[in-house]
């Protein structure tokens, strides 16, 4: 019995000794000093990986460091970095994703970087571009508004298309759109070709919100003829406008704009865009021969340039200079020359892609010439395009169907245009007139006048401006437009909100 007890006691003592050894071993393993040393070694390794990723990006470029950056960004130890280190690494990772053509991942990383109040203007600017590319107009507007407020001196360097893409692509009532325009206004942003139109949009957004004092300040900067026509035509601005004042003289504004664009072109001889904008201003003033001369001189310069000495940094803009040369030739009655020029322009690329714009314009030209088969052939090869581009293409299909007396295609085209009116409301109006749907066109036009944001465009469309002689395919449309504007219901609708005047401009 005692042996059994002793044996059991020995076993218990042995077990107790084993447990004590286990506790000692555990104590040794979890020693705080050793744990801290292990943790510090772990962080040192992470920082080695982090610096290696940054060094690789500096020596080989962000794209080359993409895998290493993805690794350090996904690591839980990323949270141990300082805010500045996190921001810089996020920014570099975003750039790597952008260069690897991963816009959504780049956008997400730039969002995180800017949430940390990034002081890098590139973070905010690239975020604005990516949000726009991915269809997030309000977020894009907010990012660009921050950029404008914090770095106004950098605004002359932004893409020419960014501001109009955001302003005209966003919903008119968007608060972010308003904030962007106000930030640009406060930053004294200037673009001789388009800023007046942006200030008009700002004035409309402000007057809808009842901010008369802010509207008055904004009107002082509207100096482009089309925007001034809209202001003068809209009775909402009557208390703020002096029609006889030189600042609201539309023809004077057209001449002053041309002079400003001429100065800009002279100061930027390596850029085509100022020349293109000059040609638009010349067309407005009826300076058709001058447009032709400008285009001829520019195209000759391009054609004679050596391959290693491209004369303009924005060579893709040459198609618009040729496009405007076409318009000048049409107004002079030189129709065959105009058509040949537009055919040539349509064969050149647009921003490195298939030339959609000139192909669509060529389709319309053929419709105006009453050549529906050629119109359809001209637009047959167009590929990806914007919502507005699809509206214009459908308008060409409709005008061809009307001339071919194809009722099924006409109805199908009209259904599409009605369903997508937000992408181009005047395209819908013109299509209804081309199809002879005058009653529907009248109702549609009145609805535009009732829209506080669309009213200015509708009133501008109704003004009495100079026009070239109609081509055979345009005569029906011209008659229907005149009929529409003479209707009592249309006249009453215009009288409620605005007026129609004559301007000696095209």
Q: What is the pLDDT of residue 39?
A: 66
**pTM, to two decimals:** 0.87
State which residues of the chain have pLDDT below 70. 1-31, 33-39, 352
State the CB neighbour count (10 A cutoff) for residue 432: 24
Reading phi first (left if > 0) and then psi (alpha if -120 to 50, else beta), residue 465 is in beta
Q: Which two tokens stand for residue 497?
A: 């909100």
CA-to-CA distance for 447 and 117, rounded, in angstroms? Answer: 44
Give the phi and the psi of residue 492 in degrees, each rounded to 5: -65, -40
Q: What is the pLDDT of residue 269?
A: 96
Query: Helices marked H in 212-355 — which ranges?
Result: 212-219, 225-233, 250-267, 273-285, 288-304, 318-331, 335-346
Query: Helices marked H in 135-271 — which ranges?
Result: 137-150, 162-169, 175-186, 195-208, 212-219, 225-233, 250-267
How many Cα neighbours within 13 Å face the side chain of 359? 23
Q: What is the pLDDT of residue 11?
A: 33
CA-to-CA distance for 393 and 126, rounded, in angstroms? Answer: 31
How far is C-alpha 306 from the chain's CA centre?
33
Q: Which two tokens stand for residue 113?
A: 């970087």
State the CB neighbour count (10 A cutoff) for residue 255: 14
**pLDDT tens-digit map of 307-353:** 999 999 999 999 999 999 999 999 999 999 999 999 999 999 877 67
Q: What is the pLDDT of residue 170?
A: 96
User: What is Dmax (Cα atoms) for the chain?
Assistant: 129
For residue 205, what is the DSSP state? H
Q: What is the pLDDT of residue 22?
A: 41
Closest CA to 367 of 415, 404, 411, 330: 404
**pLDDT tens-digit map of 452-477:** 999 999 999 999 999 999 999 999 99
Q: Which two tokens stand for residue 301?
A: 């310069």
Closest CA to 204 of 457, 505, 464, 375: 457
Q: What is the pLDDT of residue 42?
A: 81
Q: What is the pLDDT of residue 381?
A: 85
CA-to-CA distance for 216 and 203, rounded, in angstroms? Answer: 8
Q: What is the pLDDT of residue 9?
A: 33
Q: What is the pLDDT of residue 329?
A: 98
Contact 307, 288 (CB under 8 A): no
Contact 320, 349 (CB under 8 A): no
Q: Which two tokens stand for residue 42?
A: 């772990």
Cα–Cα distances in angstroms (integers) from residue 32 to residues 54, 201, 340, in the given order: 33, 65, 85
């Amino acid at each position: 019995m005692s042996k059994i007890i002793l044996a059991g006691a020995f076993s218990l003592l042995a077990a107790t000794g084993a447990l004590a050894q286990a506790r000692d071993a555990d104590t040794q393993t979890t020693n705080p000093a050793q744990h801290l040393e292990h943790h510090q070694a772990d962080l040192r390794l992470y920082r080695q990986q982090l610096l290696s990723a940054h060094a690789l990006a500096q020596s080989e470029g962000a794209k080359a460091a993409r895998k290493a950056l993805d690794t350090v960004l996904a690591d839980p130890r990323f949270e141990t970095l300082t805010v500045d280190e996190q921001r810089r690494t996020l920014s570099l990772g975003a750039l790597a994703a952008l260069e690897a053509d991963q816009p959504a991942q780049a956008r997400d990383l730039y969002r995180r970087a800017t949430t940390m109040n990034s002081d890098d203007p590139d973070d905010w600017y690239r975020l604005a571009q990516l949000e726009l590319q991915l269809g997030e107009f309000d977020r894009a507007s907010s990012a660009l508004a921050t950029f404008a407020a914090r770095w106004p001196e950098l605004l002359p360097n932004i893409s020419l298309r960014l501001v109009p893409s955001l302003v005209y692509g966003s919903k008119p009532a968007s608060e972010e759109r308003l904030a962007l325009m106000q930030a640009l206004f406060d930053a004294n942003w200037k673009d001789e070709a388009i800023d007046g139109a942006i200030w008009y949009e700002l004035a409309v957004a402000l007057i809808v919100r009842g901010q008369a004092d802010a509207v008055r300040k904004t009107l002082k900067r509207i100096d482009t003829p089309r925007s001034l026509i809209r202001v003068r035509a809209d009775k909402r601005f009557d208390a703020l406008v002096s029609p006889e004042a030189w600042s609201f003289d539309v023809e004077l504004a057209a001449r002053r704009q041309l002079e400003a664009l001429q100065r800009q072109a002279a100061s930027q001889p390596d850029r085509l865009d100022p020349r293109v904008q000059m040609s638009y201003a010349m067309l407005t003033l009826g300076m058709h021969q001058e447009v032709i001369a400008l285009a001829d001189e520019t195209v000759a310069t391009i054609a004679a340039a050596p391959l290693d000495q491209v004369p303009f940094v924005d060579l893709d803009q040459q198609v618009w200079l040729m496009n405007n040369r076409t318009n000048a030739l049409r107004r002079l009655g030189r129709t065959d020359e105009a058509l040949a020029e537009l055919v040539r322009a349509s064969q050149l690329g647009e921003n490195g892609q298939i030339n959609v714009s000139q192909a669509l314009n060529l389709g319309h030209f053929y419709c105006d010439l009453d050549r529906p088969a050629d119109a359809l052939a001209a637009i047959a090869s167009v590929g990806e395009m914007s919502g507005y581009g699809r509206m214009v293409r459908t308008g060409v299909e409709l005008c061809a169907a009307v001339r071919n007396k194809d009722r099924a295609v006409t109805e199908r085209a009209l259904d599409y245009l009605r369903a997508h009116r937000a992408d181009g409301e005047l395209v819908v109006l013109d299509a209804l007139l081309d199809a002879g749907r005058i009653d529907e066109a009248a109702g549609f036009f009145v609805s535009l006048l009732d829209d506080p944001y669309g009213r200015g465009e509708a009133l501008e469309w109704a003004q009495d401006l100079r026009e070239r002689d109609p081509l055979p395919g345009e005569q029906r449309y011209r008659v229907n437009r005149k009929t529409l504007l003479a209707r009592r219901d249309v006249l009453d609708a215009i009288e409620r909100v605005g007026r129609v005047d004559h301007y000696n401009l095209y």
